[in-house]
Each structure stands twice: as C-alpha cells, then as structure tokens.
C-alpha cells in the first residue's frame, strides 16, 4: 500500500515517550525515500504516455491522468511524513541541548543519524554564540526561583568543587545546602537530586 512505510515512521514517533528519542530508523526511512522515487518514475511514464497520445496535459482526464495524480499525491504525502519525522526529531534534539548541555551522553548520541549529530552541534553553537553576545547563560534558571538555596543529595562522587560562595566536598550520598544556580548544572547532569519538603 502506498504511503504505509512513511506513516509507520510517524507512528513510531508518536508512540515514543514525549521528549525522548528513539533510534533513527534508517531502514524504514530509506524505504520511504525509495518509494518516493518509484512514484516519480511511474508519474513520469504516465505523463509521457499522455504526451505520446498528443493530448493536452492540462485538460486531459483519462486513466493516465488520474494515475499520475495518485502518484503525485502519494509522493507529497510521503514527503510530508519524512519531513515531519526529521523535523520533530530535530525539535527533540533542540530540547536535549537545553536539558543536557553541549555534550550528549553516549547512549543518546547513538540514536542520532549523521546529519542529526551535525545539527545538534550547529544548534548548540548557535545558542552559545547568542548567549555569549548577551553575556548571559540562558540554560540555567529553568524554573522560577523560590529560594536562593536548595537542599540537595549528591548521587555520584563529584569531589571538591569551587562554587560561587563555598567549596564543599561533594561526596556520594552527602547532603548539602547549595545555591540553586550552582546546583542546577549538577542536577541537570543527574549528579545530584533536589530534596523537597
């Protein structure tokens, strides 16, 4: 059936966890692209047929014409699906830059295709150059501040660090009272958790 593969791609996208990437489905993606080119060949041969019969392409309404329309519409539907797949993944990739910073963990990196990896780097660079022009890091302070200090538990051995107002030893499982802006970067990397209540 025409267009099934491309729609499967989108189903995959819509059934995955929101904000999470699945591995790039190269196989299905390439098949859908191949289908596009097959449609185009069919389309061309039907158009040629119309021309060979010396009929006016604009006004003819015969079997060839309707066949060509179906191939054309299937092709643009596939294009929309492929673009939506790529674009929506790109949007997730953008959000990963905000959440995880300029370097992606290995297990996420593996889910990207080559072009997506490049896109992540480019987006990251664009964001960094914007932030440096403003001299303001936009990726901190993602939630409205309630208190300048928060209580955190360290989840990994981070060791001695120099923070803006103290230099604590962040040993695994220790609990600290840190400036929210200092703690945020560790929390986003999964090295700390905020203790609420």
Partner 1 sequence: MASSSEGLGLGFGSEDVDPSIAMTTDVELLKRAWRNEKAAPEILQFQHELVQRSSEQVQLMEETVEDFEQNGADPLTVSVYQMDLDRMQFLLRSYLRIRLQKIVKYMIHISKSEAWSRLSEQEQKFSKRCMDDMEKHLNQSVLSRLPYGYQSILKQSISSEEDDMVPQPHLDTYVFCKSRTPLGALQIADGEDPMDVLADFLYLFHYKSIRSFVESGHVDLF
What is the contact surface with partner 1 in residues (CB under 8 A)? 33, 36-37, 39-40, 72, 75-76, 79-80, 82-83, 86-87, 90, 94, 113, 115-116, 118-119, 122-123, 125-127, 129-130, 133-134, 136, 138, 140-141, 144-145, 147-149, 165, 180-181
Length of the chain: 197
* Backbone phi, psi, residue 111, to 5°: -85, -10
Query: If DSSP codes are grouped into helix, strand and coil, which group holds residue 42?
Result: helix
**CB of 33 or CB of 158, closer to partner 1:** 33
In the complex, minimum distance from the CB of residue 157 to partner 1, in angstroms, rounded to a whole number: 29
Question: Inter-axis angle of helices 63-100 and 114-134, to 10 degrees?
Answer: 50
Query: Are the C-beta atoms of 46 and 72 separated by less than 8 Å?
Result: no
SS3 at position 169: strand
Closest to partner 1 by CB, 79 vs 151, is 79
* The residue to which tokens 């970067």 are assigned: 185
Instruction: Give 148 or 159: the residue with its C-beta nearer to partner 1.
Output: 148
| Between 37 and 51, CB nearer to partner 1 | 37
Smallest gap, in angstroms, from Cβ of residue 85 to partner 1? 8
């Amino acid at each position: 059936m025409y267009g099934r593969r491309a729609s499967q791609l989108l189903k995959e996208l819509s059934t995955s966890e929101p904000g999470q990437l699945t591995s790039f489905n190269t196989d299905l993606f390439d098949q859908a692209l191949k289908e596009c080119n097959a449609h185009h060949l069919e389309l061309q041969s039907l158009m040629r047929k119309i021309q060979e019969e010396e009929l006016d392409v604009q006004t003819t309404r015969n079997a060839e014409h309707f066949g060509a329309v179906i191939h054309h519409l299937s092709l643009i539907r596939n294009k929309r699906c492929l673009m939506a797949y790529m674009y929506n993944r790109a949007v997730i990739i953008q959000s990963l830059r905000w959440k995880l910073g300029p370097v992606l963990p290995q297990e996420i990196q593996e889910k990207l295709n080559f072009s997506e990896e490049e896109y992540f780097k480019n987006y990251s660079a664009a964001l960094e150059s914007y932030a440096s022009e403003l001299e303001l890091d936009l990726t901190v302070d993602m939630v409205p501040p309630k208190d300048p200090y928060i209580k955190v538990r360290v989840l990994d051995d981070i060791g001695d660090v120099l923070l803006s107002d103290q230099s604590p030893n962040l040993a695994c499982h220790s609990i600290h009272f840190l400036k929210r802006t200092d703690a945020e970067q560790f929390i986003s990397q999964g090295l700390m958790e905020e203790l609420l209540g």
